[in-house]
Structure 1
Amino acid sequence: MKKIIAGLMVAAAMLTFGCSGRNAAFGVVDMRKVETEAAVIKTTKEDVTAKMKELKEQMDKDMAGKQGEEASKIAEDYSAKAQLVQSEAQNKLKASLDTALNQVAKEKNLGAIMIKEAVPQGGTDVTKEVIEKMK
């Protein structure tokens, strides 16, 4: 999930920065700090964990006494449900991050916001503002 968010953020920053002009001011965000401090990420992880636990318990009940193809089919169904839960969580986090980044960029008049670790120097650190705006 971290790699997906980071990759999407770099791509969005590159597109925005490339379209804004060469001398545009840019921001940087520490994604590690965002991942550890943003409340929406913590609650989403907790929700995913709880839903996965429920799915596992339900699957165990449905698998009781089942064997062979029937058990395999049940396992596939629950695997698909688990993937859907994770996908929905990733989409929620991506939307939250995108919204926060856009708001901060607009408020601070920044041409782009890039991942801090990918920028050797320069840029305005907007990590705190992004964390506050993620919902």
Structure 2
Amino acid sequence: MKKLLAGLMIAAAMFSFGCGRNAEFGTVDMSKLEAEAPIVKTTQEDLTKKMNDLKVQMDKDMEGKSGEDAKKVAEDYSAKAKLVQSEAQNKLKSSLDSALNQVAKEKSLGAILDKRAVPQGGQDVTNDVIAKMK
């Protein structure tokens, strides 16, 4: 989840730069965002529940199967698990992108960057982004 959010942040920052060459930029503490944004926690909880439910259902469907039948069931559930993970990632990406764009617009920032990638400067907008993530 952490790698996903960091990657999304970089992609969003690049997008934000194209929306105006303002010298002002913001920074976001991704560690704090991951720890405090309610949507991250609820998405992780939802993902864990869905994955556990899939595992229970797969175990049920595997009963009495072996060989090719078992392999087909496992492949089926692997595809379902990937879809569930993709949906969770898309939900977080959408929320983060929307929050970053809103904060950048409200504060007239040319970009919002990951705080770890900025040696100095920038306006910390972490709390604003957390508040906007839905």
Q: TM-score range by the shorter chain?
A: over 0.9
- Cα RMSD (Å): 1.3
Residue 13 of structure 1 and its aligned partner are, at CA, apart by 1.4
- Deviating 4+ runs (over 6 angstroms): none
Q: TM-score, normalised by structure 1?
A: 0.94
Q: Distance in 2 between matches of 1:11 and 1:53?
A: 31
Q: Distance in 1 between matches of 2:4 and 2:50?
A: 21
5+ residue gaps, structure 2, are none
1:38-53 residue pairs with structure 2 within 5 A? 38-53=37-52
1:33-112 residue pairs with structure 2 within 5 A? 33-112=32-111
- Report how many residues are paired: 134
Q: Distance in 2 between matches of 1:14 and 1:89?
A: 22
Q: Which residue of 1 aligns with 2:26?
A: 27
Aligned-residue sequence identity (percent) comes to: 72
Q: Distance in 1 between matches of 2:58 and 2:75?
A: 10
Q: Is the 8 A contact 1:16 1:112 kept in 2?
A: yes
5+ residue gaps, structure 1, are none
How has the CA–CA distance of structure 1 residues 19 and 133 changed in structure 2, closer, same or farther, with 3 Å as cutoff?
Answer: closer
Residue 15 of structure 1 and its aligned partner are, at CA, apart by 4.0
Q: TM-score, normalised by structure 2?
A: 0.94
Residue 19 of structure 1 and its aligned partner are, at CA, apart by 5.4
Q: Is the 8 A contact 1:101 1:113 kept in 2?
A: yes
Residue 25 of structure 1 and its aligned partner are, at CA, apart by 0.3
Q: Distance in 1 between matches of 2:128 and 2:12?
A: 18
- Deviation by residue 1:26-68 (Cα, 9 ceiling, x = unmatched): 0000011100100001000000111111100000010001000
Q: Which residue of 1 aligns with 2:17?
A: 17
